[in-house]
A = this chain, B = another copy of it.
Amino acid sequence: MTGILLDRIGRLWTGVERGVVTDAAVAIVDGAIAWIGDAGADPAADSVACDDRVDCGGGLVTPGLIDAHTHPVYGGSRLAEIAARTAGRPYGASDAETGIGATVTATRATDAAQLRTAVRRRLRGWTAGGATTVETKTGYHLTRDGELGAVALLDELRGGDGLPDLHVTFLAAHAVPPDHTGTPDEHIDASISWLGAAAQQGADACDVFCDEGYFTVAQARRVLSAGQRAGLTTHIHADELAHTGGAQLAAEVGAASADHLLHVTDDDARAMADAGVVATLCPGTALAVGELPDVAALQRHGVTIALGSDHNPGMVGTTDMSLVVCLGVAAFGLSVTEALAAATHGGARALRLDDRGGITEGARADLVWWDAEHEGAFAWAWGLPPRAVWRSGDRIV
């Protein structure tokens, strides 16, 4: 395969370990980073052959961004509900007209081809914002066939033309279905019974919405344990709307990530750090809910932080991870370096993808050349356009 040389990189933001390398060049061979050297140097001297050369003109290059929490498989619109919520209506009222239930009804009513087109269009939005890996959840069908169909759709689209790589998460335990007549435990039983098929269909992970008004810690424990038995990576919506114990459960079962954490405590942070659970924080949602997580506690205990857009129809519509990095700075007080680390290394840890999240020799060649000369632009521009994006060495922007 032909090698590609990214030359004249003004600032190469490599990741948490090596930091910024100035006046650098990177060679990509066979979808991986084959060589890192000085701008203007010839990688052939190190036996790395490149036929193509991209002049990055002194610009900024970072790893491809990783969005560690999204819900892109849905139909319908909840914009009127969103406007009403900003005027005082509380979130979480899960009647048929609003919340997850409303989207479930709309999604089930959406024709499969139309849904595929909408999801594909949304996924292109992530590419346009510089994300090369996106965690994508099901959870707006809440029937066996619908949830497995959503897994199949995501599995089919991952890595497609112009699309990011996907980490597919089965979230049948998102909420009690609006037309469910049994107990919540019966829906949990059903969700668990679908996990094996989900894994076969291509799911990488499972998740459960553990919170006030959604599922209990006991119910979430059953889902995560069953997911682990099915060989899936585990994530949990934890302590978002109230402090119900989701972060502690994540530590207990050794989940890959606990997400949202708007009510996380110092004890929770310690337990997560001890168990190696990543904190996936979603600044857009935190701002919309009006509740900020205790980021200082997470940092004090050394919890790895990832960032997610939490793209979903009822709360956050952006697919621009460069904006989410900016929000991580603006809302959470992260430094630019911390926010970029969360959107690269942290995301890779949250999704347990050890081949990406930093620019090192041998890593997957997920790279973004930004329209900026310095990483400070993330905190200034509020959405930074990529000049080029490579996903596993393929140029997709």
B382 with A317: CB separation less than 8 A: yes
Contact with B along A68-95 (1 / 0, CB 8 A): 0000000001111111101110000000
Among A318, A331, A376, A377, chain B packs the most CB atoms within 10 A around the CB of A376
Most B CB within 10 A of own CB, among A78, A79, A334, A337: A79
Contact B337 A380 (CB under 8 A): no
Chain B residues whose C-beta falls within 8 Å of the C-beta of A323 in the assembled complex: 382-383
**What chain B residues lie within 8 Å of A375 (beta carbons)?**
79, 83
The CA-CA distance from A369 to B193 in the complex, in Å, is 48
Contact residues in B for A109 (Cβ distance below 8 Å)? none
Contact assessment for A334 and B376 in the assembled complex, using a CB-CB cutoff below 8 Å: no
Contact indicator B336/A374 (Cβ below 8 Å): no
B284 close to A374 (CB less than 8 A): no
In the assembled complex, the Cα of A317 lies from the Cα of B376 at a distance in Å of 11
CB pair B335–A86 under 8 Å, yes or no, is yes
B318–A87 touching, CB < 8 Å: no
Asked if A383 meets B383 with Cβ closer than 8 Å, knowing A83-B374, A331-B287, the reply is yes
The distance from the CB of A149 to the nearest CB of chain B, in whole angstroms, is 26
Contact B82 A376 (CB under 8 A): yes
Chain B, Cβ-Cβ closest to A77: B373
Given A288-B330, A382-B323, residue A80 in contact with residue B315 (CB < 8 A): no
A287 to B379, CA, bound (A): 11
Partner of A318, one of B372, B373, B382: B382
CA distance A77 to B84 in the complex (A): 40
Q: Which residue in B81, B288, B317, B335 is a CB contact (below 8 Å) of A83?
A: B335
- Given A335-B83, A335-B87, A318-B383 contact (CB < 8 Å): yes
B318 touching A381, Cβ below 8 Å: yes
**B79 near A376 (CB under 8 angstroms)?**
yes
Assess whether A5 is interfacial by the CB under 8 Å rule: no
Q: Are B288 and A320 in contact (CB under 8 A)?
A: no
Residues of B within 8 A of A333 (CB): 290
CA distance A330 to B330 in the complex (A): 11
How many angstroms from the CA of A148 to the CA of B140 in the assembled complex?
Answer: 59
In the assembled complex, A230 has its CB within 8 A of some CB on chain B: no
B residues less than 8 Å from A287 (CB atoms) = 330-331
Q: Report if A316 contacts B (CB, 8 A).
A: yes
Counting CB contacts under 8 A, is A119 at the interface? no
CA distance A243 to B284 in the complex (A): 30
Tell me which residues from 285 to 332 in chain A have a Cβ below 8 Å from any Cβ of chain B: 287-288, 290, 315-318, 320, 323, 329-331
Contact check, A83 vs B320: say whether CB atoms are below 8 A apart: no
> Which of chain B's residues has its CB closest to A384's CB?
B317
Given contacts A87-B337, A382-B284, A77 and B374 within 8 Å (CB-CB): yes
User: Are B377 and A79 interface neighbours, CB within 8 A?
Assistant: yes
Cross-chain contact A317 with B381 (CB below 8 angstroms) = yes
Closest 10 CB pairs of A and B: A79-B376, A83-B376, A79-B374, A287-B330, A318-B382, A82-B376, A87-B335, A317-B380, A317-B381, A86-B335
Between-chain CB contacts (< 8 Å), 10 pairs: A79-B373, A79-B376, A80-B376, A82-B336, A82-B376, A82-B377, A86-B339, A88-B335, A284-B382, A288-B330
Beyond A86-B334, A86-B335, 14 additional contacts (C-beta under 8 Å) are: A79-B375, A79-B376, A82-B377, A83-B336, A83-B376, A86-B329, A86-B376, A87-B337, A88-B335, A284-B330, A287-B331, A288-B379, A315-B380, A320-B382
Which residues of A are in contact with B by a Cβ distance under 8 Å? 77-84, 86-88, 284, 287-288, 290, 315-318, 320, 323, 329-331, 333-337, 339, 372-377, 379-383
